[in-house]
Amino acid sequence: MRSNLRNLIAAVAAAPLVLAVVPGAAADGPRHPAELPRLERGATFPRCTPQDLAAAGFPDHLHEWHWRGWVPPVDADGQPYGPGTLCVRGMLADRPDLDSGDAAQRLGPWILLHNPAYEACDILTFMEVLDLAQRTVTGLLDLAPADSLVVVNPDNTSQYRELSGLGTWRLYRRQGGRALIQPIGTLQARTLDGHAAFMLAADWTLDSALPADLPPWLHHGLVGYLAEDGANLVSYMAEFRPQGPILYRPAIVDAVLAGEPDRDPGRDRERYRKACYSAFLMGWELVENRGGLDALRSFLHQVQGGVPLDEASGRVYGLDLAGLARSLDPVEIGEPAGLRLEPTRPHEAP
């Protein structure tokens, strides 16, 4: 099984799994999603001009550890974290905060369950990304998960489909404090491991840290935004654009993302991806053009402190949530000015 995992990654991956940093943006401006400004606490919003979006599409910095020259970040205690830090050259690193067992790996809020036939380092490549994702999301939102999340890695895609009832266009299924993900090797081979990890981190943080449930358009919009899924979603939309409009109104977004999957796989895939893209655009507009991360943190912290959702929204954004959703309606606003609609290849180093 260990060799099968390695063979799958080697055979399907579109880019070599070597660690790397992003080269500096081209002198005449960004031409790659990873050359666009990062989502950081000190970022200036909006981060991208229409010219940036026309040249590079939406930002995507979640493939860098697969490129040559990657150097893991270091926390305030001098501890490196993220890809390349739990296992070094196939050997477990000395990390007292890691509890590594035959069929379970524990680090921070994550409990990763897997078939004991896998070696720890086969599994910890994803745990490293989860650790990076959680630290990043917590740093951006000043929110941390209130509890642990059990993440189950199935043996293969067939098992994932059987246990989750989902198609592979949905990267995981979370029910309460337990999530079933697509097999780690499959996510890595599809170059979606970073996006899946950041989605899980944002999803679990928002759900467990807040006493009230955000409406689906806002919850999923922020999850997609924090997971930098825009470039992927634009690429997915290329299939559907010839058939007509691709954007949903907030009520449809809520219905699709809060409901059960459509029984027809093709229809579910289309509706789910359109709803995710519409929610992402609402999250993008909210953060990029409605006060940045400062406004978002203020809203979330008030909700965390017990302020009702509508009241918190009114204090920060001047509208209750229904009004805020109407003001962010992607059918009315459309895609960002200048946005490149042709698919990009953010997993390939610039």
* Overall average pLDDT of the 152-181 stretch: 97
Q: What is the mean pLDDT of residues 175-190?
A: 97
Residues 287 and 217 in one domain: yes
pLDDT(21) > 60 = no
**155 lies in the same domain as 247:** no
Kindly state whether residues 139 and 4 are assigned to the same domain.
yes
The pLDDT of 239-246, averaged and rounded, is: 97
| Secondary structure string (H, E, C) spanning 99-121 | EECCCEEEECCEEEECCCCCCHH
Is 104 contained in some domain?
yes
Is the pLDDT at 15 greater than 70? The verdict is no
Q: Is residue 288 part of a domain?
A: yes
pLDDT of residue 90: 87
pLDDT of residue 23: 39
**Residue 75, in any domain of the structure:** no
Strand pairing category for 104-107 and 110-113? antiparallel
Separation between Cα atoms, residue 130 and residue 150, nearest integer Å: 12
Instruction: Give the tens place of pLDDT for each residue, 142-164.
Output: 999 999 999 999 999 999 999 99
pLDDT tens column, 93-103: 989 999 999 99
Per-residue pLDDT for 11 more than 50?
no
128 within 8 A of 82, measured Cβ to Cβ: yes
- Assess whether 6 and 119 both reside in one domain: yes
The answer, yes or no, to whether residue 1 has pLDDT greater than 60, is no
Mark whether 297 and 262 lie in a shared domain. Answer: yes
In what order do the strands lie in the sheet containing 104-107?
98-100, 104-107, 110-113, 149-152, 178-181, 172-175
Give the end of a domain, one of 167, 185, 209. Answer: 209
Note whether residue 36 is domain-resident. Answer: no
**Token couple for 183:** 């097999």
Residue-wise pLDDT tens digits, 286-329 = 999 999 999 999 999 999 999 999 999 999 999 999 999 999 99
On whether residue 191 sits in a domain, the answer given is yes
Nearest of 186, 214, 220 to residue 299 by alpha carbon: 214
Let me know if residue 306 belongs to a domain: yes
- Does 22 fall in a domain? no
The mean pLDDT of the chain is: 92
| Cα–Cα distance measured from residue 126 to residue 197, given in angstroms and rounded to the nearest whole number | 8
Residue 26 lies in a domain: no
Task: Write down which residue in 189, 209, 229 finishes a domain.
Answer: 209
- With a threshold of 0.95, does the pTM exceed it? no
Domain at 179, CATH number: 3.40.30
pLDDT of residue 28: 73
The model's confidence at residue 180, banded by pLDDT at 50, 70 and 90, is: very high
Do 235 and 327 lie in one domain? The reply is yes
Which residues constitute the domain of residue 331? 211-350
Residues 104, 241, single domain; the answer is: no
Model pLDDT for residues 184-229, shown as the tens digit of each residue = 999 999 999 999 999 999 999 999 999 999 999 999 999 999 999 9
Residues 290 and 178 in one domain: no
| Reported confidence tier of residue 29, pLDDT bands at 50, 70, 90 | confident
Q: Please indicate whether residue 90 or residue 290 has the higher confidence score (pLDDT).
A: 290
- Who contacts 158 (Cβ-Cβ below 8 Å, separation ≥6)? none
User: Which residue, of 209, 235, 270, is where some domain finishes?
Assistant: 209
Contact (Cβ atoms closer than 8 angstroms) between residue 156 and residue 183: yes
- pLDDT tens for 244-269 read 999 999 999 999 999 999 999 999 99
